[in-house]
């Protein structure tokens, strides 16, 4: 695997993981109790955001440009 591809994969995964975390965090209501959070919904929404982030990275990712 070339260095360019490794750099792109790493940057795309970092971006997707951050997107996942941001999505899950956004579904935790302000002032809400952790036990009241619908974790199934939060994780599934995060997973969808993760996939979308990877797909949009195919079009180009500034972090991987030299």
Burial class (CB in 10 A: 0-12, 13-18, 19+), 43: middle
User: Which band of pLDDT confidence, cut at 50, 70 and 90, is reported for residue 35?
Assistant: confident
Pair 13, 57: CB distance under 8 Å: no
Average pLDDT for residues 36-51, to the nearest whole number? 92
DSSP, collapsed to helix, strand or coil, labels residue 28 as coil
User: Which band of pLDDT confidence, cut at 50, 70 and 90, is reported for residue 31?
Assistant: low
Pair 61, 15: CB distance under 8 Å: yes
Q: Where are the domains of the chain?
A: 3-64
Statement: the pTM of the whole predicted model exceeds 0.85:
no
């Amino acid at each position: 695997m070339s260095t360019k591809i490794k750099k792109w994969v790493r940057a795309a995964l970092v971006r997707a993981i951050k997107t996942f975390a941001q999505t899950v965090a956004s579904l935790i209501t302000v002032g809400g109790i952790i036990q009241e959070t619908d974790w199934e919904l939060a994780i599934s929404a995060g997973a969808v955001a993760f996939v979308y982030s990877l797909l949009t990275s195919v079009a180009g990712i500034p972090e991987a440009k030299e």
